[in-house]
Structure formats: structure tokens, C-alpha cells
Amino acid sequence: MTDTATSTKNAAERIAELRAELDAHNHRYYVLDEPSIPDAEYDRLFNELKTLEGEHPELVTADSPTQRVGGAALSAFGEVRHEVPMLSLGNAFEDSDLLDFDRRVREGLDLPAGDLFGGGATVAYCCEPKLDGLAVSLLYRDGQLVRGATRGDGSTGEDISSNVRTVRNIPLKLQGSGWPALLEVRGEVFMSKAGFEALNVRQLESGGKTFANPRNAAAGSLRQLDPKITASRPLEFCCYGIGQVQGELPDSQVGILQALKGWGLPISHELKLAEGVEACLDYYRNIGERRQALAYEIDGVVFKVNNLAWQRELGFRAREPRWAIAHKFPASEELTELLDVEFQVGRTGAVTPVARLKPVKVAGVTVSNATLHNMDEVARLGLMIGDTVIIRRAGDVIPQVMAVVAERRPADARSVQIPACCPVCGSQVERTQLVKRSKGKETLSEGAVYRCVGRLACGAQLKQAIIHFVSRRALDIEGLGEKSVEQLVDEGLVRSPADLFTLRFEQIVGLEGFAELSSNNLLAAIAASKRPGLARFIYALGIPDVGEETAKTLARALGSLTRIQQALPEVLTWLPDVGAEVAYEIHNFFGDDHNRTVIAQLLERGLQLQEEGELHAEFAAATTLADFIDKLNIPFIAATGARNLADKAGSFDGVIALSQDWLELSVMKGLNDKAKQSLREFFANPDNVARARAIETQLRDFGMHWESEKKAVAGLPLAGQTWVLTGTLEAMSRDMAKDKLEALGAKVAGSVSAKTSCVVAGPGAGSKLAKASELGVRVLDEAEFLGLLQQFA
């Protein structure tokens, strides 16, 4: 043999080995949900295969795992004739429809009927969820995937072979042995809820079109002429049946599905065999209760006679099998008409469009209003008054307008206009400005939100502000519900939260719902709320973007209202989960004269904050000199440059001195010329020096000791890493998990970004997990996380 022939033979062997190994891992990961190797190891094997195939293009085959990225784009789909037609299912909506179906089945099979005392023969049914995606046929010849097709009109579909190859859990070749020589598998291609959310986030970011629901997203992704687009979409497959077959298969529906599973095809995790129709109803109710918690959308369940001989005996009526039925859940989407768009004013003055709809029943509840979020959303939907719209209500989620049915737009449809004046107080309505701060520069852009500038002079904002101020998690003033607040404001008795503390008995008694006793009770409740904890008080103020968690962080880290009020925005960004935007909101809130007056009045009128006092060590621990330099936002100096600068200069004074010493600076390593130039210019400006000094002084006042802290964390195993916890953990509380991670030197953040080192995801993890997979961030489940802790114990 020549050298090339030997190397080709070795390559062919290694390629076969790698494919087998990757196929096995794929199957464990996508079909069994039991990943067996870390992603990095998978990537290594995959890259090795890709390199070998690149060196030996003659060895590339269609069933190689590398071929899932999508081949060349088509100009049109070819046609596929279905040898066995792809049928649809009859529907049952009420329990009685299902009982009728079961009766027809038993009569069709001539099985003995029961009497008043029960008895009779029961039929066993194969039960599965009815996935909301699109039906697909996959043809395997000698175990190789040779064709994929859509359902089309049931007799003729489209050839989407290149596209189905990109769906990760569709095996390109069957596993094991014993499969029929020709096997047509049928099932649903769908998108999980998390995959759908992540895709829409990505589409928004890239300016692409977003999808109304997972079903549309799945259909739009699968019917792409360019399979590379399909490959980039989070599609999944689940099989529920077969079409044409040449060869032997088990003689029951469940038996066939289990055989398919054994050959590496994904089947439903919810597959069950039910003895008799009552067991089917139990199955329907059980899945119905868990519907919202499932990872994918379903619109019902499907029951099929399990015995195949019986299926043949029952046969078909028109285009529906007599042996199967879909038992539907109440629809979560309906069509209705948009009668008008009105504008509501919220606590922070945001003027929000609300859709007034022709009442329609959605999933059992009559819907006549839906929020439209903001004017960008109205524009995104292309909404006009008079339009027919798709309304969706999932579980207890508020109804949403998903899309406009463009074909049904009436000639007299009107556009939606934001009012120039507040519908409540008549003040001007302004579009918010978004301020983006990056590396010393501020860029303004138009925000999606419009605000009424009236603030507490606007009745709507005042009412909402007070409702928030007295709410259970804020000052917790019992007996002051929304209706009472509305009265107090409408009667002019309360013009700011501070007015609550000067209310007198004779002002309240006689208001609707206030007799002598309830008036006294309310005054007592107000008096009892005068000693709130600092965190509660900060939360109660209703600072935009400051929820309970941020309020707690501020209170814990800074320990006093005065410090929080005085904190510079840059300093606030040192706190965990406080980004520049929130920091500026906090700073602007306390800088506002009106807010200052209200706070001063509250304190004058007897409000005494509790838990005020010491600074928390946590604040200091978060700080390093490099961090400090980075946060000064000097143009062209990013995290690495900042670190090099900190190492070289050793102290803040050192950095200033170095920046002005051109000779010393020009020979410094780890900083490029542009960065050096920028550094020099930055500190040549006395305003910048003064600002930096003010930040440094405040950090020191707040207890920062950067050098020593840096050393303490540096040696720890997870130093420099940022972790995110999501979902529920069973073995320990989140706080405990956080403590453990921090003790190992990691920072624990509340949201996932490209900088996140690792995400720990327990059951119920949602958008954070989706974001992590989107960004390719490493994810550990609880067991793996505990394993890791053990390793460092």
C-alpha cells in the first residue's frame, strides 16, 4: 500500500470511530436527555472529525454528524408523494365526545357492551400529548435517512430532506439492528418554549422578524430554502407513528413506538398505555394540569387503539382514522377584533397602550382587554384599530395580542397614535430618552416608553405610587386597599406619600367603607408602619428599576439612607447586579428636588428607619484597583488594559502619575498606543481627575480596601468567575448555594451574559437557562453542581 492509501485507511477507521461515538453521545443528549460527556469533550471529538473530513473530502457521507450544519440553499422545494396518505384526526372537546368515540370503537369491533353494573370489554389506548408543531415524514432505507417531507395536503408534500438533517434529535442513521429495510417514520417537528423565547430574543437583537408562537416559529424555520437557517433554529422532533414499511414491526402501537425508540428515534416522554376510556380521561386531566409546566406547547392529547389488528379492522372514515382521536384542551389562542386602543398611566408615568377587544372566550375565560406594552410593540405588530388580531392567554398569564391578521384589515382601519397630553392630568407626554454610557461617552437614543411629565401632580401616578408605598412588601399598611387610596387622592386628602402620616380621624371617617372602627384601625396601621426597615423603605419609594432585591442590596451594602442618597452612580455599579442604567436611575431619583422634599417630609412626620448603621464588608470585597480603572470608562481601556495598568502602577495615584509620564508610559507593556494616548488625555483633564478622586474617596468612605481584598480572593478556586443560579435546588437553598460559591471566590450574579462562567440550573429553570444555551455558557444541573462542591470540600 502507498503512504496515502495507508493514511486514508487510518483516517477512514478513525472517522468511523468518531462518528459512532458522536452518534451515541447525540442520542444520549437529545433523545434520552442523559448527557454523558461535557460539551467541551463533545466539541473536541466533533472538531477532530471535521478536520479529518476536511483532509479527506472523499470520505464525507451524508450521515456524518458534521452534515447537520445545512448544505446548499434550494430555489424551490421538490414534491413528495405520500405512499400512505398523511391523515388528520377527529377531535373531542368534551368528556362525552371521548366516551362516544370509545363506544364507536367497541361497537366497530363487536366487543361486548357493559350494562348498568359495568362490565363489558375495555379497549387499551396508546396515549400521547398532541404536540403543536408540524407533521413530518422521515424515510429510512436500510437504516439511512434518505428523505424528509412535510404533510402538504396529505397526499403530496414538500421535500425538506436537507432541512430535517439539521434537526439535532433526528438520527441520520438508525441505531442497533432489526429495523425494516424501508421504514417511514412520522412525527411532529416543534420548538420548545425556551427555544422559541431564545430565538425571538435573537431575532429582535439582529433586527429579524419575531414569531407569534412556537408553532409558527417551527413552521417558518423548517420551510426554509436555505438549510443553514434551519440549522440555526432550535427545532426538535418527536415521532408518533409510521407510514410505509417493508419488514417486520411489533403488533401494537406502543410496541412500535418502543421499537422506534430502540433505534434511536425520539418518542414522547409522556407515552402511556391506558386500559379503557376512564383511564384515558385521567390521562387527559393529568396532562392538562401539567400543561403549563411542560417544556413545549401542546393543544391536547391523542388516543390511539393500541392493538394494530383492531386498527386495521376499524379502518378509516373520510380522511380520519376510526381508531384514533385528538382530545383537545380549550384553545389558548382566538381571533377577535381590536375595537380601540386606550392609554393607561402607570406608577412611573409610563403611558401604556391597552387594547380594547371585542370580548372573546380564550381558554375558558372572557378576554376584553390586553396590554400592548409600548408603542414599539404596536409598531412591531403593525396594529391598526379595526384589525382582527390573534389573542393568546396561557395559564394565568395576562392576555397578549400576538399578531394581526393582515388579510382581514377593514378599509376604515385607523392608526394608533400616542396622545400629546396625559389622559389623566393633561400634562405633556414625552418620549423617554435612552442614555447609553460607554467608555466616557453618552449616546442618546429614543426609548420605547412615553411618560407623562406630571409625576405626583398626575392623579394616576400619585395613586399608583401610594398603592405601591403601602403595599405588603413595602410599608405594609393594612386596611389601605386600592379603592381607599383612590378615594383619599380624589378627595384631595393625600397629595404625596408623606400626607398619609398627617391624616386625621375626621378626614377619613365617612369615606366609603370607613366607619369609626375602620378609621381608627387605619390610623393605627399607619402609625405602626412608621419604623420600616431600610430595604423596605427604599423599595417603597418606587425608584424606577429598583425592585425588592436591589433595595435589599442597597440597604445591606450601604447601611444608611444618607449613603444611598449620596452614592455616585459609578460607585453604585460596584454593587452586585447594579448596572449603569439602574445606578443612574437611583442617582437621578435622589437628585430630584421633589423626591428630596417628599423624603424630608416623611422623616419630619415621624418616619424612623430601622436597620441603619454599619457598612457591609461585601461592598469592600467586590473591589480591585483594576476594577476601579475599568469602571472609570476611559476610552480604549478595557478590562485587560485596566488590569495591566493596575499591576504596573500599584495605586490610583500611581496610575495618574504614570498617565502623565510619557516616557515611562511609552515603554509600558500590555497597553497599546491608542490606549496610552487616551489614558494621557483622560487624566490631563482636571474634571476627570476630580471625578475619579471623588469616586475613590467615596469608595474609601464606604469601606473599600482594594489591594488586600484582591489577595484574599485571588487564591480561591473560582476566583474571577461569575456564576448564575436559576430554577429550584433541592439539596440546599439558593442563599446557601450562593454562600458556597462566594466562599470559593466566585461572584454570583442575577442575570446571564456572555461574561457568565457557569449557570447552575435546577428544575423549572426558564429564560436564564435558555439564554445560557443561546450564548453557549456552561450549564450544570444540581447533581453536577454538588459534585463540584464536593471536589473543593
**Quick one: which H or E segment has residue 230?**
helix 227-231
Residue closer to ligand IVH by CB (options 243, 762) is 243
Minimum distance between the CB of residue 270 and ligand IVH, rounded to whole angstroms?
Answer: 10
Handedness of CA 507, 513, 519, 522 (dihedral sign): negative
DSSP classification of residue 478? T
Helix (H) or strand (E) holding 345: strand 333-345
Stretch that binds ligand IVH, among 86-94, 223-231, 400-408, 711-719 (CB under 6 A): 86-94
For the CB of residue 58, give the shortest distance to ligand IVH in the complex, in Å. 40
Of 185, 191, 187, 189, the residue nearest 147 (C-alpha): 185
321 sits near ligand IVH (criterion: CB under 6 A)? yes
Q: Is 241 in the site for ligand IVH (CB under 6 A)?
A: yes
Binding mask 96-135 for ligand IVH (x = CB under 6 A): --------------------------------x-xx---x
**Residue closest to ligand IVH when measured from CB atoms:** 135
Q: What is the largest CA-CA distance in the chain?
A: 108
The sign of the dihedral angle between the CA atoms of 723, 726, 728, 733 is positive
At its nearest, how many Å lie between ligand IVH and the CB of residue 628? 57
User: How far from chain centre, in Å, is Cα 573?
Assistant: 25
Q: Report how far Cα 347 is from the mean position of its chain's Cα atoms.
A: 25
Give me the catalytic one of 9, 130, 193, 747. Answer: 130
Note if 130 is an active site residue. yes
Binding-site string for ligand IVH from residue 150 to residue 189, where x marks contact by CB under 6 A and - marks none: -x------------------------------------x-
Q: Do 143 and 174 contact (CB within 8 A), yes or no?
A: yes
User: 109-125 in b/e burial notation, b at 16+ Cβ within 10 A?
Assistant: beeeeeeeeeeeebbbb
Q: Which three cell numbers stand for residue 601?
A: 417630609
Neighbours of 289 (CB within 10 A): 9
Nearer residue to ligand IVH within complex by CB, 240 or 652: 240
The residue from 185, 222, 267, 302 that contacts ligand IVH (CB under 6 A) is 302
If the CB atoms of residues 148 and 321 are measured against ligand IVH, the closer one turns out to be 321
Site membership for ligand IVH, residue 274 (CB under 6 A): no
User: Is 422 labeled as ligand-binding?
Assistant: yes
Q: How far apart are CA 332 and CA 316, in angstroms?
A: 30
Task: Say how far apart CA 691 and CA 699 lie, in whole Å.
Answer: 12
Nearer to ligand IVH, 302 or 458 (CB): 302
DSSP string, 368-433: EEEE--SHHHHHHHT-EET-EEEEE--TTSPPEEEEE-GGG--TT-EE----SB-TTT--BEEEEE
Nearer to ligand IVH, 188 or 197 (CB): 188
Q: Which stretch binds ligand IVH (CB under 6 A): 46-54, 85-93, 328-336, 698-706?
A: 85-93
Candidates 83-91, 374-382, 544-552, 726-734: pick the segment binding ligand IVH (CB under 6 A): 83-91
Q: Is 279 annotated as a binding residue?
A: no
In the bound state with ligand IVH, the residue whose beta carbon lies nearer, of 268 and 400, is 268
Query: Are 504 and 494 a contacting pair, CB within 8 Å?
Result: no
| φ, ψ at 258 (rounded to 5°) | -70, -35
Shortest CB 281 distance to ligand IVH, Å = 17
Q: Is 264 in the site for ligand IVH (CB under 6 A)?
A: no
Q: Which three cell numbers stand for residue 476?
A: 405594609
Measured N-to-C along each axis, helices 652-660 and 639-649 cross at an angle, to the nearest 10 degrees, of 100
For residue 113, give the DSSP letter: P
According to the binding rule CB under 6 A, does residue 88 interact with ligand IVH? yes
**668 binding ligand IVH? (CB under 6 A):** no
State the number of binding residues for ligand IVH (CB under 6 A). Answer: 15
* Distance of closest approach, residue 252 Cβ to ligand IVH, in angstroms: 15
Contacts of 59 (CB under 8 A, 6+ apart): 8, 11, 12, 15, 52, 53
The reply on whether position 266 binds ligand IVH by CB under 6 A is: no
As a whole number of angstroms, the distance between CA 328 and CA 298 comes to 9
Is 39 marked as a binding-site residue? yes
DSSP state of 90: E
CB closer to ligand IVH, 188 vs 499: 188
Residue 89 is a binding residue for ligand IVH (CB under 6 A): yes
User: Nearer to ligand IVH by C-beta: 189 or 475?
Assistant: 189
Q: Does residue 42 have a known ligand-binding role? A: yes
Q: Is 89 annotated as a binding residue?
A: yes
Among 12, 45, 59, 87, binds ligand IVH (CB under 6 A): 87
Q: Is 297 in the site for ligand IVH (CB under 6 A)?
A: no
Provide the 3-class DSSP secondary structure of residue 559: coil
Closer Cβ to ligand IVH, 150 or 336, answer by number: 150
Residues contributing to the annotated binding site for Zn(2+):
422, 425, 458
Residues contributing to the annotated binding site:
39-43, 88-89, 128, 151, 188, 304, 328, 422, 425, 458
Q: Which spans of this chain sit near ligand IVH (rule: CB under 6 A)?
A: 87-89, 128, 130-131, 135, 151, 188, 240-241, 302, 321, 324, 326
User: Could you give the residue numbers annotated as active site?
Assistant: 130
Residues contributing to the annotated binding site for NAD(+):
39-43, 88-89, 128, 151, 188, 304, 328
